[in-house]
Structure 1
Amino acid sequence: MAAWFTVLKLVPWGQVIEATPQVLQAARKLLRNRRAGNTAQSTALVQGADGQPALPTDMQLQQLRERVRCLEQEQQDCAALIESLAEQTAQVVRAVETLRLRARRLTGAVLVLGAACLGLLVWGLLRQQ
């Protein structure tokens, strides 16, 4: 239980809390853009009743270019969000690694102290005889 408290103390919570609104905002923006893009683009190139495109070719091309631009922006936003999450994960991993090393050192120290106490106990019992 104490190890978890130590883990929680090592995590730079100030930075995590500071970055959380930005991550949330980016995630919401991506979701909003994704929903808006899907509905707008799904109706853009609908064919007319006679099998001909409802929009002229130039307009279709312009809409496709705009859609590609939106997708590129969305991809960049996703990459930034993933990078932010990766940085936070790396900080947590570093904190856990530090705790693992400290736990190993503490285990060694407890073993040494236990051996010393056992040695003193045996020495005290032998001395009394």
Structure 2
Amino acid sequence: MAVGWMTALKLVPWSEVIEATPQILQAARRLMGSAQRAPAGPSPAAGATAALGVSTADQLAVMREALLQLQDEQRASATLIESLAEQNAVLVRAVDALRVRQQRLLWGVGALGAATLVLLAWAINQ
């Protein structure tokens, strides 16, 4: 099982992921900023609902309520996306640090193994 994860982690282009992380954060922040601004102008569906026999004031009230709900949902989605992007950035940095640590440990184990073999060979020859 651990071998599968190691293989999967080796296949990830970490340098590209790390390079793309700032752009992902910026895009999420731009999305959050645009979601916080209220859109201007009437809805294109206003004319289509007039034919239903409902008064214009009632239609307008329903459309305003729907618009407010959509804006709330958009803000919540943008907040979630920004949070996920920040968590992704933290995760990428942590995984990169673990990758570097794993490489260092591998070199250390290799050096200890070589030193052990040298000491074993020296002890046998004595």
Question: TM-score band, normalised by the shorter chain?
Answer: 0.5 to 0.7
For residues 111 and 54 of structure 1, the distance between their equivalents in structure 2, rounded to whole angstroms, comes to 81
2:77 is the counterpart of 1:78: yes
Aligned-pair CA distance for 1:112 = 0.6
Aligned-pair CA distance for 1:54 = 4.6
Aligned-pair CA distance for 1:80 = 0.3
Aligned-pair CA distance for 1:97 = 1.7
For residues 64 and 112 of structure 1, the distance between their equivalents in structure 2, rounded to whole angstroms, comes to 71
Amino acid at match of 2:96: E
Instruction: Say how many residue pairs are matched.
Output: 78
- Per the alignment, residue 99 of structure 1 pairs with 98
Aligned-pair CA distance for 1:110 = 0.5
For residues 112 and 74 of structure 1, the distance between their equivalents in structure 2, rounded to whole angstroms, comes to 56
Amino acid at match of 1:58: A
Instruction: Output the TM-score relative to the length of structure 1.
Output: 0.51
- Per the alignment, residue 111 of structure 1 pairs with 110
- Per-residue CA distance 1:50-82 (angstroms, 9 max, x = gap): xx6352023213321331222122101111012
Kindly report the root-mean-square deviation, in angstroms, between the aligned alpha carbons of the 2 structures.
Answer: 2.1
- Per-residue CA distance 1:63-118 (angstroms, 9 max, x = gap): 21331222122101111012112222322232222111111100100101110110
- Per the alignment, residue 36 of structure 2 pairs with none
For residues 102 and 52 of structure 2, the distance between their equivalents in structure 1, rounded to whole angstroms, comes to 69
For residues 117 and 70 of structure 1, the distance between their equivalents in structure 2, rounded to whole angstroms, comes to 69
Aligned-pair CA distance for 1:124 = 2.3
Identity of aligned residues (%): 47
- Per the alignment, residue 65 of structure 2 pairs with 66
- Per the alignment, residue 120 of structure 1 pairs with 119
Stretches of structure 1 lacking an aligned partner (at least 5 in a row)? 2-44, 46-51
Instruction: Output the TM-score relative to the length of structure 2.
Output: 0.52
For residues 75 and 82 of structure 1, the distance between their equivalents in structure 2, rounded to whole angstroms, comes to 10
For residues 97 and 103 of structure 2, the distance between their equivalents in structure 1, rounded to whole angstroms, comes to 10
For residues 112 and 87 of structure 1, the distance between their equivalents in structure 2, rounded to whole angstroms, comes to 38
Stretches of structure 2 lacking an aligned partner (at least 5 in a row)? 3-48
